[in-house]
């Protein structure tokens, strides 16, 4: 069905050169010059939505077109000469580019404020699924006491899905003067949120592949130009993000829960204990 949509757009020669890249919300293919993201019927509108959000993020030059074929939405973007985040490819130049990218995003205002009720409901869900783990429940209760402190923040434009598969690092030497060092892809989930949460997702989803020490160093270098209030709220959102991951494993992929628990809960507890601003401002 996916390729049938592309048959209406591409020549037989181009179709023969397509390589699948996987994808979750959509199926993704490339011919090494362009990337084709195909949304299934019922979600075809997401192709245009993602194009709009890429333009808002300053990536409009990557968008080559949007089409609907046989009820499916197709987003066509320029190919980026990069690969998913890996420790080997992560350089100081990439870190500087990543810092610039997130700062640029987070300067863009979005309507609304972070709501206390939404944060409380999220933590209550985590308490239900993780209540049998005493240390996790203790952390959840500690975060619940701080909801009023982090709520009420004006929302900014955030990517909200910066895991390693969505963070591409340039792999070729100067393939084009127009190519950035890093590129965030998959903008469907982007929108208004607290920048501190966006940065927490970056740490837990990508930077942690560097190892905890290097991940923290990279994160704190990246956020040094942010207001103090944003930096301090990382102590809330980094543990919250780990808890979200554990909640996901417990409810969606229980066979992987114990392994995730052994990896993520110590990271969550350590970050909260080391960085919570009301106790220790070392972070």
Q: What's the pLDDT score for residue 280?
A: 53
Asked if residues 97 and 82 have their Cβ atoms less than 8 Å apart, the reply is no
Query: Beta strands 82-84 and 167-170: pairing type?
Result: antiparallel
Q: What's the pLDDT score for residue 22?
A: 82
Average pLDDT score over residue span 183-208: 98
* 3-class SS of residue 49: helix
* pLDDT above 80 for 97: yes
Q: Where are the domains of the chain?
A: 2-79, 83-275
Higher pLDDT, 73 or 23: 73
Q: What's the pLDDT score for residue 281?
A: 55
The overall average pLDDT reported for the chain is: 93
Least confident of 88-102, 134-148, 174-188, 229-243: 174-188
CA–CA dist 110, 93 (Å, integer): 29
pLDDT tens profile 38-47 = 999 999 999 9
Tokens at 229, concatenated: 């209030």
Confidence of residue 279 (pLDDT cuts 50, 70, 90): low
CA neighbours closer than 13 Å in the CB half-sphere of residue 216: 13
pLDDT tens profile 144-159 = 999 999 999 999 999 9
CA–CA dist 278, 280 (Å, integer): 6
* pLDDT above 80 for 140: yes
CA–CA dist 147, 132 (Å, integer): 22
Tokens at 275, concatenated: 């960085």
Average pLDDT score over residue span 30-36: 94
CA–CA dist 20, 157 (Å, integer): 30
Q: Is the dihedral of CA 24, 188, 42, 113 positive or negative?
A: positive
Q: Is the dihedral of CA 256, 183, 97, 196 positive or negative?
A: negative
Least confident of 9-23, 183-197, 244-258: 9-23
- In the CATH hierarchy, which top-level class contains the domain 83-275? alpha beta
Q: Does domain 2-79 have CATH number 3.30.200.20?
A: yes
* pLDDT above 70 for 177: no
pLDDT tens profile 252-276 = 999 999 999 999 999 999 999 999 8
Q: Tell me which residue of 167, 250, 171 sits closest to 201, measured CA to CA.
A: 167
Q: What's the pLDDT score for residue 121?
A: 98
Q: What's the pLDDT score for residue 5?
A: 73
CA–CA dist 18, 23 (Å, integer): 15
* pLDDT above 60 for 174: no
Q: In angstroms, how far is CA 155 from the centroid of its own chain?
A: 16
Residue 198 phi, psi dihedral angles, 5° rounding: -60, -40
pTM: 0.94
CA–CA dist 131, 180 (Å, integer): 44
Q: In angstroms, how far is CA 247 from the centroid of its own chain?
A: 17
Beta bridge partners of 39: 73
CB atoms within 10 A of CB 189: 15
* pLDDT above 70 for 176: no
* pLDDT above 90 for 173: no
Confidence of residue 89 (pLDDT cuts 50, 70, 90): very high
Q: What's the pLDDT score for residue 54?
A: 98
Q: What's the pLDDT score for residue 9?
A: 86
CA–CA dist 261, 243 (Å, integer): 9
CA–CA dist 282, 1 (Å, integer): 54
Confidence of residue 224 (pLDDT cuts 50, 70, 90): very high
Domains 2-79 and 83-275 share a fold: no
Least confident of 3-7, 55-59, 273-277: 3-7
């Amino acid at each position: 069905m996916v390729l049938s949509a592309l048959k209406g757009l591409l020549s037989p020669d181009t179709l023969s050169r397509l390589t699948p890249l996987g994808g979750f919300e959509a199926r993704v293919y490339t011919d090494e010059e362009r990337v084709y993201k195909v949304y299934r019927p019922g979600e075809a509108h997401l192709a245009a939505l993602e194009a709009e959000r890429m333009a808002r993020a300053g990536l409009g030059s990557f968008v080559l077109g949007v089409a609907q074929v046989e009820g499916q939405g197709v987003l066509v973007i320029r190919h980026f000469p990069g690969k998913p985040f890996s420790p080997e490819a992560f350089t100081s130049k990439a870190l500087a580019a990543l810092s610039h990218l997130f700062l640029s995003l987070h300067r863009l205002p979005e309507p609304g404020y972070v709501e206390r009720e939404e944060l409380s409901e999220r933590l209550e869900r985590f308490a239900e699924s993780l209540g049998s783990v005493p240390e996790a429940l203790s952390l959840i209760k500690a975060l619940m006491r701080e909801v009023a402190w982090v709520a009420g923040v004006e929302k900014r434009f955030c990517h909200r899905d910066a895991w390693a598969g969505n963070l591409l690092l340039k792999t070729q030497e100067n393939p084009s003067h127009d190519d950035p060092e890093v590129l965030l892809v998959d903008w469907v989930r982007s929108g208004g949120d607290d920048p501190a949460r966006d940065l927490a997702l970056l740490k837990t989803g990508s930077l942690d592949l560097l190892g905890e020490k290097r991940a923290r160093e990279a994160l704190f270098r990246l956020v040094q130009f942010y207001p103090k209030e944003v930096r301090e709220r990382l102590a809330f959102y980094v543990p919250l993000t780990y808890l979200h991951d554990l909640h996901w494993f417990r409810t969606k992929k229980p066979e992987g829960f114990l392994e995730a628990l052994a990896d993520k809960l110590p990271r969550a507890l350590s970050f909260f204990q080391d960085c919570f601003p009301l106790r220790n401002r070392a972070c």
